[in-house]
Structure 1
Amino acid sequence: MGLPFLVNKHHELMTLNNNELPIYRDALPDIPGVHVQPQFLDPDNGVWVLRVLFEPGVVLPMHYHTGSVHLWTLSGCWHYAEYPDQPQTAGCYLYEPGSSIHQFLTPADNTEVTDTLMVVTGSNINFDKDGNYLGMLDANSIIAVIEHLIRERGLEPATYIRPEPAKYTTK
């Protein structure tokens, strides 16, 4: 038996060096202190991988996950408002199944930025404290936010991995 037939031949590694890539500061217009460095954005399959740095005192809206989340805490501390006794600190890995709902926050007394890496499938559906719909965050909307920041602030184009969209075969 020989090697498998390769549909996609890779001639180089798809790799990023975060030390050489921009971090888009204050990426969320209504929530200061959230800095984003995209890694992998695949709107066709609903997968988004982000490095996100959170300043002390950041409170995100309550949100519902339509898919799963893998989240690594690289530095700092954060917790969900619903689980204050389970802080996530440097070295923690968190898995969230789809259909989770919670509110992320970094304590105001944090002494450093909280640096995270997340792999998310699906969407975050955001709500205010009264349960009113605020909006949705997914791979497509993240691409739109990043492109808007680049245009608005005159920044360099983003470098991240993005798979090719699905295509029809040719005859």
Structure 2
Amino acid sequence: MNVQTAAKLPVFSLPQDQLLTLNVNDIPVMRDSLGPGIHFKPLLADPEGGVSAVLGIFAPGALVPTHYHTGAVHGYTLSGMWYYEEYRDQPQTAGSYLYEPASSVHTFVVPETNTEDTVVLFIVYGGNINFDEEGKFHSVLDAITLQNLIKMCSEKQGIDQVRYLKGGSVHYSTDK
């Protein structure tokens, strides 16, 4: 926290001695994290706040099976093209911003005809409840699962450390 600025304000603020910032160019790609051609760069995983942010990188033909969002999602497409199977007539292309309300259900598709990877910035509140082809529960992808996925992918790829922003840390206010 900038003590001089905070002292002038009529509110309390969290202490912050540095900006929490990353350069996505410095973050390694977690390859094939959720299946073939589904990669990501982790930006934020905050289990306590229930929010995560990733730069999703999807190869042509990549498919993220049907999933249910417990919270809202913001998506900004940087390159390529994708759509939800349920909304084929509304493809998302470079420059598209998408807001998904909580409780939405869909299947993420990148056409095989794409000539480049599709790159999307996703900010996810809550988690995804993932289902298999028969509609049966498969898994949960939330901020704590994301932290473990980062660890598993980096170990598999031989990456020593992955720098991303983590949420706060619950602790006691005082010792016993």
Give the TM interval when normalised to the shorter protein: over 0.9
Summarize the alignment of residues 1-171 of structure 1 with structure 2, pairs less than 5 Å apart: 2-4=8-10, 6-28=12-34, 31-170=35-174
Supply the distance in 1 between the matched residues of 2:156 and 2:165 (Cα, whole angstroms): 22
Runs of 4+ more than 6 Å apart:
none
Q: Percent identity?
A: 45
The amino acid that maps onto 2:18 is E
> SS in structure 2 opposite 1:151?
helix
1:33 to partner: Cα distance: 0.5
Unaligned runs of 5+ in 1: none
Q: Which amino acid aligns with 1:26?
A: D
Task: Give the TM-score normalised by the residue count of structure 1.
Answer: 0.93
Code of the residue aligned with 2:79 in structure 1: it is S
Cα distance, 1:7 vs. partner? 4.5
Count of aligned residue pairs for this structure pair: 169
- Aligned amino acid, residue 65 of structure 1: H
Structure 2, unaligned runs of 5 or more: 1-6
Residue 150 of structure 1 deviates from its aligned partner by: 1.9
**Structure 1 residues 26-77: Cα deviation after superposition (integer angstroms, max 9, x where no partner):** 112xx11111101011011211100010000011110001110000000000
Question: Which deviations, in whole Å up to 9, do the C-alpha atoms of 1:72-95 show, x marking residues without a partner?
Answer: 000000000001110000000000
SS in 1 for 2:44: strand
Q: CA RMSD in A?
A: 1.6
Secondary structure of the residue that 2:165 maps to in structure 1? coil
TM, length-normalised to structure 2: 0.90
User: What is the deviation of 1:4?
Assistant: 4.1
Amino acid at match of 2:20: M
Q: Which whole-Å CA distance do the structure 1 matches of 2:55 and 2:156 have between them?
A: 21
Between Structure 1 and Structure 2, which shows a larger proportion of helix residues? 2
Higher mean Cα deviation, 14-23 or 105-114? 14-23
Provide the secondary structure at the position in 2 that maps to 1:67: coil
